[in-house]
Amino acid sequence: MTAENIAQLIEEKRLIEPKAGVPVEGEAFWNRPREVVELVSRLENGGSASLFGLRRIGKSSIMKEVARHLRTKGHTCIFLNTEGMSGPGRLLVDLVRDLEPSLRDKISTAWANNGSLTGALKQVAGVLKNEPVDTKSIENDFRDFWEPLTQTVEGLLRKHDGKVFVFIDELPFFLSDQMDKGASKENVIDILATLRRWRQDSQIMSQVLCGSIGMAGFLRRHDIARDHNNDAPGIYVGPLNQDEAKNFWMRPRRGIGSTDGRMPSELLSSMLQ
């Protein structure tokens, strides 16, 4: 296969580029219609979902594909990877920063003008000027900032025309990590309650909450009532079945298998045994 052929195949979107590690997006995404269609229709009908499945099974890639699809229809989609986030202050700032500019500016102005916010809390208004915001200094003051900041967001989201789709990756892991670092169960419940309130008004927000341990498992483990999450029913991302796996591996790809970029059939059958 010549470089020209390869370029042509990429152009025709028939050649996938194998990638390892990070979630795949766009052309690198091999379609998984079962999960993608179910999630898109759930979200378009005003619902929310918790996505769970084994590590490395493709959950984040599915979320990215669903977000890409909804964006092509003109919807605002926000993807928040909570892995490594300093805390709920960061979560909030990142969410607001990725809203459409007019809404983001209104929220930031309201935050900046909120007389009850002082010191480090004031600096989150830097999100307005697109400056990098260091949220570490506010994470310890959860009780001071969570309610006032989230109420502003909620009030302005309600007045805003058009809903928002929010994808929160690794949320159970993030919340566990927060507890390990000393956050109280009450704080975690406050975060869950806010997210629930936001997604309960399907005019303002739908959410996908994702993690390999799953939200239900997290709540069980920490003895937190299930009703914090039962309005975002689980969607399981399972392994590919034999035919799907075969089709996936039979797609021409760069650098693997025989010269035409296909997995040799003997190798494929031994892999799928």
Ligand X SMILES: Nc1ncnc2c1ncn2[C@@H]1O[C@H](COP(=O)(O)OP(=O)(O)OP(=O)(O)O)[C@@H](O)[C@H]1O
Is 55 one of the binding residues for ligand X (CB under 6 A)? yes
Q: Which of residues 61-120 bind ligand X (CB under 6 A)?
A: 61
| Binding map of ligand X across residues 185-214, x = CB under 6 A, - = no contact | ---------------------------x--
- Report the alpha-carbon distance of residue 29 to residue 25 in Å, rounded: 5
Non-local CB neighbours of 186 within 8 Å, separated by 6+ positions: none
Is 23 one of the binding residues for ligand X (CB under 6 A)? yes
Is 50 one of the binding residues for ligand X (CB under 6 A)? no
- Report the alpha-carbon distance of residue 209 to residue 51 in Å, rounded: 6
For ligand X, the binding residue among 48, 58, 149, 166 (CB under 6 A) is: 58
For Mg ion, the binding residue among 48, 50, 60, 206 (CB under 5 A) is: 60
Q: Which is nearer to ligand X, 3 or 20 (CB)?
A: 20
Q: Which two tokens stand for residue 115?
A: 């007389």
Among ligand X, Mg ion, none, what binds residue 56 when CB lies within 5 to 8 Å by partner kind? ligand X
For ligand X, which stretch binds (CB under 6 A), given 17-25, 131-139, 176-184, 189-197? 17-25
Q: Which is nearer to ligand X, 23 or 172 (CB)?
A: 23
How far does Cα 76 stand from its chain's mean position?
Answer: 13
Backbone angles phi, psi at 187, to 5 degrees: -60, -45
Enumerate long-range contacts of 135-138, CB under 8 Å, 24 or more apart. Answer: 135/86, 135/87, 135/89, 135/90, 135/93, 136/86, 136/87, 138/89
- Name the maximum alpha-carbon separation found in the chain: 70
82 secondary structure, DSSP code: -
For ligand X, the binding residue among 9, 15, 24, 156 (CB under 6 A) is: 24
Q: Which is nearer to ligand X, 67 or 107 (CB)?
A: 67
Binding-site ranges for ligand X (CB under 6 A): 19-24, 28-30, 32, 55-61, 212
